[in-house]
Structure 1
């Protein structure tokens, strides 16, 4: 009964997304039944259980899950796709020895597609999703659209006859296939003809060995190569020169420091303006004057606010009118966004990550009932200035007259603002074991993350019209 109900529920939600009308086809329900067989039904039907008061955890259900993403870039550092990151909540008592790959993959797909909405995490990009052997060989059907995902075959999947047949079937149905953490071993070569993308973990191979393997693969196959765990600009340039097509890692988040190079005076002035905007006591007249003296900034703000994304329904012709329509807090936030977007020549994904981080910090501040939410937004926004300006954070902060408390938050992750920043960074990197959420429910973290992504996407869309 429960399985049939879940199957019908799954079809109802999927049909809504794909605009399918009518009853569920019998073959669809059969496929979903196979999928549901490998799920833990308690994730959908919570049975009353005795609670030990000493172990009761505040802040949310044990069935909550955390879903994140990591950017995958092309050679021009445009976003090609995202890899989905997943973790059960702490209430699930996760430990590597208890990890069930089939269950984790199933929950990724149900959480990201059914509950959260895949488009809310990755937009129009593809999502790389790790697939265990049972999904690859067809024992469990993959109930996600082929145009939305990349089937990432885990490194421990061996080329058995059943796996090879499963790969043939996936290819015939139009799925894009990637081999995860691929090791160039003769026994694994039968997998290569089915791969569109081969992922290579830079931590598992020397640069000399990598050169030979890349040459051999490029010579015998048209497969694309993806370098993962790219942590520095030097590694990115090395892999790009070797002929890699895609790159995954946090190399864009780290500053490329050029010794002896100082921050230009115009950028220092920009940083000080952004900081002044965050002052909760700034008056409307001063804000109006700050903007009006910079003709270029005034033009950009008015053009941005009149963009379709705002949907104000009336043309805004002055900064004071914008203040009346949006309110001082909102206008300050949009001004900071516009100013920072012109501060760096880094790829747009750096700006987007900055916005997601700032907004998520602010939203969590609201969850924990902090009145100084602007400070949390500021800390999140300033936390990537080192990457934007190719300078140490301590050097950048010398030019910004913010409080010592916020400096400590940025440099040492001290105080509540710093702890929230550390939590948000751990979430966005999928470093689940480094997260210290206290009493914040996993569902609140996921909601804040998705809301921050949506807000950042809207902001970036508005900038595109600016």
Structure 2
């Protein structure tokens, strides 16, 4: 992760974060803004809906590591995305939903805004200049971002808009402040929050995102859309795509679901989220995803095989010790450093997993280290270290062979429908 100046060719997403300041204090929060990779520090927006989806899918990853969890995060929402309910996976304690300034506040949209507010979400109105057409939704909005730049040539109107908004009990956020005079007006009017070039420009953050297999995502979306989720099936679909599993773990541990209990399995992550939040999360990541490169497809396939192989081996042991699916995370994440192009310690930053699994992936002594050695050293037949692990597990060579080829068949079935399926046995 880095700025647009030092992004490598591997970077495939960009998002800008623009600080929101307390007028006479520190940073209150950040607004996440759409940017294109390699483009200028300005929004070249394909459409409001696409921009919202890109920020939801990738912007949350961009800020999850290095923004204080107590800071508010503002995200612009198009009318279409709100109607589809794709805000549903956001933590309402942290995220603020910004209603864009050019929406039409008809009766249906007003009712939608009311229902979002009653569901516990905090809303803001963007680029407000006193337009009475927004009066129907103002009762449900907490923050009103008054556009100082648009009203600068009409000081009397600017003051009137501020006075009216404050009188309505709203928290005014002075937007596009650029001069000392703007800040002086904020102080004179008691405006608590401000954002604009007077303080800083948006900072572009770029990084590499693992693109997920499209067929896997479509299958997952179908499953989470059912009235009753088949959790084992959803877990299996996620287990076939390291990109989705990685994003899910990152999200669960950066959102309000996490309460200090290590996420040792995908089952636990799914339990924490629940159906509605999971369905929204999957839909956002599906619609905003990028296509996989052949190299990434091969790595993803090999990771899925490793994870499934370890789960089957553990099930075959006389005394299983990893509670079924939890050990699959070791195999699933074992190639994460290669996928992201960074050392494993950086790849695992922000992902909370069982300490033994983390230690194994980092090459440290760990009870899970033999499992990692097994999946790394077994590609149809075991190397010396993998054979030793199998012996210590009490698993015969024949059983291991069936487990491995069963894992290959399972992964091939899960990846069915992708544009190309990598040949197994090429990743060491």
More helix by share: 1
Q: TM-score range by the shorter chain?
A: 0.3 to 0.5
TM-score (norm 1): 0.39
TM-score (norm 2): 0.42
